[in-house]
Structure 1
Amino acid sequence: MADGPEAPETLESLQARHRKEQRDLVSRITQKKRQASKKTRKGVNDECERLEQELNERQARELSIFNGENPDEEPALGQEEDAADAEEGQANGVAEAVENLTIDTGQSQGHTPEQNAPKKKKNRAKERLARRAAEHDALVAQAMVEAANMPDLREQERTRMAQHFGKYGVEVKEIRADGHCLYAAVADQMETQGLGLKPRIQVKTQEAKLPDYKWVRCAAADLIESNPDDFAGFMEEPLEVYLQKIRETGEWGGHMELMALARSYGVRINVLHSDGRVDKIEPGDNVKGEDDKEIWLGYYRHSHGLGEHYNSLRKVS
């Protein structure tokens, strides 16, 4: 027998889910900011603000749909306050009526102006804002406690990575986390080992003075462009668009670009992971073993707040 239709979400379950989503986001944001360095802090803060805005907009939209409203229609002036006031109207109305009651004892002539003055009306909008601020602060405090109890993945990864350096006779050269890290790390390896930045193939750029990482970007793009069938299966967009991103933007590089660079420079690229695994990317059968040239990179997943990162691993002299 087929299962019956799923029960519709109630207001209570919707609000409970929204609170959980807010707690999860605060915890995620707190963890990101703890892992951010001075160089990545601005980017992390911008990303966190975007995530918070997106969650708030989506939850507001879901609540509007639940209430039978059109989320794309602008509310009339004062409509939002009126809806919130209606929720408190009955309880506050009874309370105010009780507070405003006076008992005629026959001595009303002796009442002072302060006693006869009407009660000051409460500012419900301010009360709502205060409650929301208190709830938000409570969520932040809870998320900070949870984050404090979470393992420091960044420090753990760096510690584990350093434990493998001695085995391979390397030491880390920190590379700036700016989207060019893979190419800058390869450039550092090629230069410090005296291999030079000129690839085995002819780079098509006409610019004489380029940053080192830019030469490496062009070398990767030219190799892929010259051998499109070898790389088309890895792409999710047209070749021309992908090559433009490699040459002219700060788009991150990955395994495909390392494959292209190994072939372009005729070197073996060794990528060390924190668990001790080493990915060996060969230059290809036609140049494999040529002068037995190789370079070393370190791959990090947690050490930088914006995501994956590559450092150069220089040979210890």
Structure 2
Amino acid sequence: MDELLARHRKEAKDLQNRITGMKKQATKSTRKEVNSKCQKLQDDLKIRHEQEIKELEGFVDEAQTDEVTPEKLLEQLEISEPQQTTQEVTPTPKKGRRNRQKEKLAKREAEIERMKEEARLEASKQPDLKKIEQDAIDQLCEINRLKPYDIIPDGHCLFASILDQLKIRHDDSSHDIYKLRSLACNYIRQNQDDFVPYMFDEETMQLKDVVGYTEEMEKTAKWGGELEILALSKQFDCPISIMMSGRPKHVINESGTKPELKLVYYKHTYALGEHYNSLHSI
């Protein structure tokens, strides 16, 4: 239970950081929608935490709620008919009655502890992907004389990273996050044929609805990806490079004529999942 509660506290803290970032980026026109989304995230997390606690406590509840059958009741009451006999019978000491509920509970607790130990042993054998990724990125940054500039880890991180790059490499401070979302989505809608390869949904095996996709991307805190990077690289006529662990630098729109925007991509370092930071020159 202690391990579960510790994880719940960490997840709640991570979510609070994410919500703080979302609210900071909200504009007057989007504040109501952002607040609603933040409340839903908090409610969903609370429901999941309560369910996980109930499931863990269920192990004990199950052990304590054995069905009482007539046979068990008779056994517990130890009903026995006295027999008439002409011979004197020496009383036989009674054996202590087994407490089956305690035995079952102890057995289940032992099984849970065994499973935990197996999980800890398995985890100790796994590579530390976070450390591997961070070490690789640190080395790449040192070679290229760059340093990551931390961006709040939320659904806006890609756009916030590009916003920071526009300021330091294009001397352009005329945009905000939702302006970049609108520019990217408008470009996608106006040039749909260029984005067909990116619109295939592997789950449904069909092309995504461009209008529905871009409306959600434009008006919410939905995570952006390669589709939006390509659109903004075309919009600002510049290459956008992405540094990542274990792969060569990925450059989008190499033919762009304006200075390159430089991002770094993380897959394992942040608790909320995939994340982009901005790269500053040293």
TM-score (norm 2): 0.64
Aligned partners of 2:48, 2:281: CA distance in 1, in Å?
A: 41
**Corresponding residue number in structure 2 for 1:304:** 270
1:220 maps to a residue whose letter is: A
User: Displacement of 1:230 after TM fit?
Assistant: 1.5
Structure 2: runs of 5+ lacking an equivalent: 18-40, 56-61, 200-206
1:166 corresponds, among 142, 167, 170, to 142
Question: What whole-Å deviation, never above 9, does each CA across 1:175-220 have from its counterpart, x for those lacking one?
Answer: 222111111111111112243155xxxxxxxxxxx8x322221121
- RMSD across aligned positions (CA): 4.6
2:189 corresponds, among 225, 237, 243, to 225
Quickly say closer, same or farther: Cα 1:250–1:313, change in 2 above 3 A.
Answer: same
2:260 corresponds, among 291, 294, 298, to 294
Contact 2:14/2:271 (8 A) holds in 1: no
Question: What whole-Å deviation, never above 9, does each CA across 1:221-245 have from its counterpart, x for those lacking one?
Answer: 1111111221134224211210112
Quickly say closer, same or farther: Cα 1:231–1:135, change in 2 above 3 A.
Answer: same
**Corresponding residue number in structure 2 for 1:207:** none
Aligned partners of 1:254, 1:182: CA distance in 2, in Å?
A: 7
Work out whether 1:237 is the aligned partner of 2:208: yes
Contact 1:302/1:308 (8 A) holds in 2: yes
2:261 maps to a residue whose letter is: I
Aligned partners of 1:102, 1:304: CA distance in 2, in Å?
A: 71
Q: Secondary structure at the match of 2:261?
A: strand
Quickly say closer, same or farther: Cα 1:40–1:262, change in 2 above 3 A.
Answer: same
TM-score (norm 1): 0.58
User: Displacement of 1:277 after TM fit?
Assistant: 0.8
Q: Count matched residues.
A: 231
User: Displacement of 1:135 after TM fit?
Assistant: 2.5
Contact 1:40/1:177 (8 A) holds in 2: no
Contact 1:164/1:276 (8 A) holds in 2: no
Question: What whole-Å deviation, never above 9, does each CA across 1:17-73 have from its counterpart, x for those lacking one?
Answer: xxxxxxxxxxxx9xx99x979535998x949958x96xx8xxxxxxxxxxxxxxxxx
**Corresponding residue number in structure 1 for 2:35:** none
Q: Secondary structure at the match of 1:290?
A: coil
Contact 1:258/1:269 (8 A) holds in 2: yes
Quickly say closer, same or farther: Cα 1:194–1:215, change in 2 above 3 A.
Answer: same
User: Displacement of 1:303 after TM fit?
Assistant: 0.9
Quickly say closer, same or farther: Cα 1:48–1:279, change in 2 above 3 A.
Answer: farther
**Corresponding residue number in structure 2 for 1:178:** 154
Work out whether 1:267 is the aligned partner of 2:238: yes
Q: Secondary structure at the match of 1:312?
A: strand
Quickly say closer, same or farther: Cα 1:263–1:121, change in 2 above 3 A.
Answer: same
Aligned partners of 1:253, 1:228: CA distance in 2, in Å?
A: 17
- Structure 1 stretches of 4+ with a deviation exceeding 3 A read 35-38, 40-43, 45-50, 83-86, 99-108, 119-124, 126-134
Q: Secondary structure at the match of 1:222?
A: helix
Contact 1:214/1:247 (8 A) holds in 2: yes
Aligned partners of 1:48, 1:276: CA distance in 2, in Å?
A: 39
Q: Secondary structure at the match of 1:267?
A: coil
Q: Secondary structure at the match of 2:111?
A: helix
Work out whether 1:254 is the aligned partner of 2:225: yes
How high is the sequence identity, in percent, across the aligned residues?
A: 28
Contact 2:169/2:260 (8 A) holds in 1: no
1:282 maps to a residue whose letter is: N
